[in-house]
Amino acid sequence: MQQRPSKRDTEGTRPAPSRLPRRVLIVVVMLGTILLAGTVGFVVLEHYSWFDAFYMTLTTITTIGYQELRPLDHAGRVFNSFLIIFGVSAIFLAAGAMTQTIIELELQDRYGKRRKKRMIEQLRNHFIVCGFGRVGRNASYEFQRTGAPFLVVDRNEQRVAKATSAGMLAIVADATQDDSLREAGVLRARGLIAALPSDAENLFIILSAKTLNPSLTIVTRASEEEAGEKLRRAGADTVFTPYSMAGRQLADALLRPHVVEFLDFTRGDIGPSVTPKVIMEQVCISPQSAFTSKTLGQLLEPRPSEVIVLAIRRHAGETIFNPPPDSEIAAGDFLIVMGERPSLQKLEQVLTA
């Protein structure tokens, strides 16, 4: 399993670092202080009007070189000498700080894009989430919570920036374009979620992705009931209709409230930092596992109360619910299990060798 990009890895792709507002604030305060001090000095020492004093200060520190509004006495020239030294130094420091910030932003943006491109090229067997709206965002949070490698593709820069700030790998691109899917590594991907708001756009994504990678598993949602069958014919492996699902869940909440509560307990509320204590998971039995061709009882004997096996999904497609301890497990079978995350991770290590 590839490790998802950390927040530190994605910092280079943010639109603006936090130090930029701080530098601008320092420059503004420094120049404002110089202007205020110079204006007050000319008013007090030379009895200028407030506007004439401000104008004299501004022409002095910017080295424009206009003549004095009226001749200065000795005290005024001494004060103006210090104003020239500190004012011009402040202008040079401000110009240098802003130039440095602009260069850093340009370099950061360039190296950030190169780093992101390398990270995308290194992805293998990953998932692609097309669209970072409400559906795609929740799917991305689930991928992030489980540590699965994935990439977010959205044409909206603000949504991509939001995904990046959450520690996700994301790019600004149009997922309906073949070049964008290739950039996202669709040829190496394991699965794709088409979560754009329009059924027509999702249909276009499915056709393009299946053409580029026929073995890709695609999941999408249909806004209209009639569009579901069209999306399946286009190549979608699973199509969810939110309104039908919501209707069934509303009815189940009244008819089977304890079942719904139990399922919510195992799933947890979807979010960037929510991790349920007990989860359901599927674990594939590897041919290299020591428990291949052994019974379920032999597998669970060292851990009788840590993991509950709900079903066995045979490689041929048969599903055995509540399998007995003498059920034989073979390579390629999937165990549908429930338990705490550390226990399931240990079981996965045993079965996947």
pLDDT tens, position by position, 208-262? 999 999 999 999 998 887 888 899 999 999 999 878 888 888 898 899 898 888 8
Q: Which of helix, strand or coil describes residue 137?
A: helix
Predicted pLDDT at 1? 39
User: What are the domain boundaries of the chain?
Assistant: 13-118, 127-247, 277-352
- 3-state DSSP helix/strand/coil percent for the chain, to nearest 5? 50, 15, 35
- Min mean pLDDT across 95-104, 151-160, 315-324 is at 95-104
When the candidates are 2.40.240.20, 3.40.50.360, 3.30.2420.10, 3.40.50.720, the CATH number that belongs to 127-247 is 3.40.50.720
Is pLDDT of 120 > 80? yes
When the candidates are 3.30.70.1450, 3.40.190.170, 1.20.960.40, 1.10.3720.10, the CATH number that belongs to 277-352 is 3.30.70.1450
When the candidates are 3.40.50.720, 1.10.287.70, 3.40.50.970, 3.30.710.10, the CATH number that belongs to 13-118 is 1.10.287.70
pLDDT band at 317 (very low <50, low <70, confident <90, very high): confident
Q: What value does the mean pLDDT take over residues 76-98? A: 84
CA distance 243 to 225: 9
CA angle 136, 245, 226 (to 5 degrees): 85
pLDDT band at 188 (very low <50, low <70, confident <90, very high): very high
Radius of gyration of the chain, Cα coordinates, nearest whole angstrom: 32
pLDDT band at 178 (very low <50, low <70, confident <90, very high): very high
Retrieve residue 214's tokens.
């026929």
For 151-189, the DSSP string reads EEEES-HHHHHHHHHTT--EEE--TTSHHHHHHTTTTT-
Q: What is the mean pLDDT of the chain?
A: 83
Angle between helices 19-46 and 50-61 (to 10 degrees): 120
Predicted pLDDT at 275? 56
Percent of the chain predicted with pLDDT > 90: 31
CA distance 195 to 239: 11
Q: What value does the mean pLDDT take over residues 93-115? A: 76
Please, are residues 312 and 255 in contact by the beta-carbon 8 Å criterion?
A: no
Retrieve residue 259's tokens.
């079942």
Q: What value does the mean pLDDT take over residues 259-275? A: 65
